[in-house]
Amino acid sequence: MEDRMGEHPGNVESEPVRQATASCETEDLGLSGRQCITPEPLDPCTLVIFGASGDLAARKLMPALFNLFRNGGLPDRLRIVGCARTPMEDDAFREKLRPAEEPGSPGAGGAWDEFAARLHYQAVDYTDSASFDELAAFLGRLDAEAGTMGNRIFYLAVPPILYELLARRIGEAGLASEREGRNGWARIVVEKPFGHDLETAMDLDRSLHESFAESQVFRIDHYLAKETVQNVLIFRFANAIFEPVWNRRYVSRVRILASETLGVEHRAGYYEQAGVLRDMFQNHMMQVLALIAMEPPPRFETDWVMDEKTKVFRALRPFPIEDPYENLVLGQYGPGFVNGAPVPGYRQEAGVGEDSLTPTFASMRIYIDNWRWQGVPFLLTSGKRLGRKVTEITIEFREVPHSIFRNVLGERVAANRLTLGIYPEEKISLVFQTKNPGAALRLRSVTMDFHYSQNYTGPVLDAYEKVLIDCIRGDRMLFWRQDGVELSWSFLSPILERCEECENRGRMLRFYEAGSMGPEGAFDG
């Protein structure tokens, strides 16, 4: 322990905890912020949420902000301004968002009142520039009253079709410019989808950049804010033992799986246009792939990490679109049972046409053309209404080059497998072979598990809490950079075009029963 403190002054947070089966030491590398929510004091600021009466604000943003508040994770001088079209008083807005009292957390009501005092509401007509001038005046008054010092985050929790308009209006009202010095910063936060294809992604970017510099733009991918996704880089680059085997010589295949039990829910309008490739692959799956495949950057700094991810996207082997069936399975769920309950098929969902050919499942085999990964297939699979919700990355290693047991055991030696579990269990598991106890010589596959929460008792940040904290800190590490967005679209666009050609739409789609694990054979890789 002393040696370690000598190496990393100030980094060690807790004594190693010893258990019969495992031991853990925790060091804050400034990454997760799990132990102490914010490593440094946060600037005072105002968070302006457009689309404040919408689903995202109510279901994700407000609960995340309230939770942060309860855990002391927000700046002392913070104001939250909800904006939407409907006129409303502050008090009505506060009441509308008040969470139901949870039996398990008495006193939440008191904390809510304290938190709600920081909430304000300003009606804004997005089409009217005068309305934005009023907003600017309101924010100016708030700065004077609450000491928020002109620091502002504009969170666009609105349908993507409004991004360009809102960014322009914010700029026209003079709200996007940053003042000299430490205070008076302005940031804009957008959620995926970043465009519908490469061209629209570039259009969106141009509109954002009319008013904002790239350093002011935060493009959210909530997968990046998941603790175990962040952990991929720690696992790979803070341990010397894994990196030497993390390549084509030892790895036979990598699988990235994000299966969901949920269907399209109330989002048919969006999903009918998007389908699984735009909804999950263009963003989340690509980011996870990049973390697994990237080279170590010289230092853990935002642009350097992003540069390495960009190199992965550049090295993606163009997809063989002339014969897509070999490497791509698309599916759509039909009726079935999930968790024992009957569920409708995709075509029976509200807002979906009865002859819809939108894929809700995809399994895609892709290759990365560089020295490290040449010839190693990456199998990316994601789908809705599958039997289980599982998010995990599996590294399948090669079999032993020569089995000395062949003549004794008469069986193949199963290869090692490393699984980085993201959901439902946050864990790392390694499967390896041992001798089965007893007189006979037999192999036994065993699993060594590390559970991420093992020996940890501090507060756990959910993805939105992490994202909000990072926006306030101005840390862009867990967000998309535009070059990555464009490269991801460049890779996917030809595939989308090919799949969406009229004659291919129906031909490529395989139907699967809700509650199954997708079209038959899709997982075989």
Q: Is 260 among the residues that bind ligand BG6 (CB under 6 A)?
A: yes
Of 134-142, 254-262, 351-359, 405-413: span binding ligand BG6 (CB under 6 A):
254-262
Residue for token pair 């009606």 = 123
Of 176-184, 257-265, 453-461, 466-474: span binding ligand BG6 (CB under 6 A):
257-265
CB of 17 to ligand BG6, least distance (A): 29
Q: Which is nearer to ligand BG6, 73 or 193 (CB)?
A: 193
Sequential DSSP letters for 341-355: EEE--GGGSTT--TT
Selected from 43, 279, 349, 470, the binder of ligand BG6 by CB under 6 A is 279
Cis preceding-peptide flag for 9 (omega within 30 of 0)? no
CB of 283 to ligand BG6, least distance (A): 7
In the three-class reduction of DSSP (H, G, I as helix; E, B as strand; rest coil), residue 183 is classed as coil
Of 181-189, 258-266, 399-407, 503-511: span binding ligand BG6 (CB under 6 A):
258-266
Calpha distance 173→124 (Å, rounded) = 13
Write the single-letter amino acid at 186. A
CB of 379 to ligand BG6, least distance (A): 18
Calpha distance 73→38 (Å, rounded) = 6
**Half-sphere exposure (CA, 13 Å, Cβ side) for 367?**
13
- Torsion from C-alpha of 245, 246, 251, 256, nearest 10 degrees: 150
8 Å CB contact between 485 and 219: yes
3-state SS, 434-482, equals: EECCCCCCCEEEEEEEEECCCCCCCCCCCHHHHHHHHHHHCCCCCEECH
Of 199-207, 256-264, 472-480, 486-494: span binding ligand BG6 (CB under 6 A):
256-264
Of these residues, 120, 196, 222, 284, which one is catalytic? Answer: 284
**Phi, psi of 433, rounded to the nearest 5 degrees:** -100, 140
Q: Which is nearer to ligand BG6, 279 or 396 (CB)?
A: 279
Q: Which is nearer to ligand BG6, 227 or 279 (CB)?
A: 279
Sign for the pseudo-dihedral over CA of 374, 198, 176, 284? negative
Residue facing ligand BG6 at closest CB distance: 279
- Residue 296 CB: number of other CB atoms within 10 A? 13
Q: Is 308 among the residues that bind ligand BG6 (CB under 6 A)?
A: no
Selected from 287, 391, 416, 516, the binder of ligand BG6 by CB under 6 A is 391
- What is the x/- site pattern for ligand BG6, positions 322-351, by CB under 6 A? ------------------------------
Q: Which is nearer to ligand BG6, 170 or 225 (CB)?
A: 225
284 is catalytic: yes
CB of 184 to ligand BG6, least distance (A): 33
For 475, the token pair is 């840390």
Calpha distance 480→306 (Å, rounded) = 8
CB of 525 to ligand BG6, least distance (A): 21
In terms of Cα–Cα distance, which of 386, 383, 382, 381 is closest to 343?
Answer: 386
CB of 488 to ligand BG6, least distance (A): 14
Q: Which is nearer to ligand BG6, 134 or 462 (CB)?
A: 462
How many residues bind ligand BG6, per CB under 6 A? Answer: 5
8 Å CB contact between 32 and 230: yes
CB of 171 to ligand BG6, least distance (A): 27
- Residues interacting with ligand BG6, by CB under 6 A? 258, 260, 262, 279, 391
- Kindly list the catalytic residues: 284
